[in-house]
Amino acid sequence: MSNEQAVPDNATENAMESAEVIAGVMKKAGLVWLAWDGKRPAPAWFATVDGQYVVLADPADGAEQPLPGLATARSVEVVVPAKPATQRLASWTATVRRLEPGTDEWTAAAQVLRTERLNAADLDTQLERWRAEADILVLAPTGEITESTGRYDATPRAEAPVPTRATTRGKPPMTLHRPVRRRPKLS
């Protein structure tokens, strides 16, 4: 029996280092931006379940997080914003795997996502609605970190806003963003 320990090769060390970097930045994130199939990046809230990053994706424009086409994407770029969200903390590549509704893995992920879901409607039927109308997806890191501290792409990413029917109702108030001054009371 030899006292020698197996020496990890460079690929294994790089994968472990990438996993540590990704885990570190994901702990700091409340949401991420996802880009796939050449589409415009979309914000997505996520949860960490047993060391895996899971998102709830509504394949249509339904009541949940609309991420159409993400379930069938081969890979996705995950952008982790820094605080304030005007900068990137890191960016990494992931593969996408859909969890099968009703499996133990799906149920565990759904329970964690349920606790992370803010402003949820119809809590009593939420899991049944997700089972029927949404996908729970695992974002599995490939080990490729495209941006991180000291390695940022300087390409400007400003884009025009998405067209919308939303509008301002009427004239904005005159005191918008002005501090209200109180007059001292006279006795």
Segment 31-68, tens digit of pLDDT: 899 999 988 889 999 999 988 999 999 887 667 888 99
**C-alpha span between 35 and 69 (Å, rounded):** 11
Domain count, the chain: 1
Q: Could you tell me the residue range of the domain that residue 69 belongs to?
A: 33-147
Is residue 178 in a domain? no
Segment 66-102, tens digit of pLDDT: 899 999 999 999 999 887 766 778 899 999 999 999 8
Segment 138-159, tens digit of pLDDT: 999 998 888 877 676 767 667 7
Helix axes 126-133, 104-116, angle to 10 degrees: 120
Is residue 9 in a domain? no
Is residue 7 in a domain? no
Is residue 11 in a domain? no
pLDDT band at residue 20 under the 50/70/90 scheme: confident
pLDDT band at residue 118 under the 50/70/90 scheme: low
**At residue 168, does pLDDT exceed 60?**
yes
The torsion angles phi and psi of 74, rounded to 5 degrees, stand at -75, -40
The two most distant CA atoms of the chain are separated, in Å, by: 93
CB 34 within 8 A of CB 67: yes
The CATH number of residue 92's host domain is: 2.30.110.10
Is residue 163 in a domain? no
CB 46 within 8 A of CB 55: yes
Is residue 164 in a domain? no
| Residue-level length of the chain | 187
**C-alpha span between 57 and 69 (Å, rounded):** 9
Is residue 95 in a domain? yes
Give CA 32 to chain center in angstroms: 3
| Residue-by-residue DSSP string for 25-66 | HHHT-SEEEEE-TTPPPEEEEEEEETTEEEEEEBSSSSSS-B
115 sits in which H/E element: helix 104-116
Is residue 64 in a domain? yes
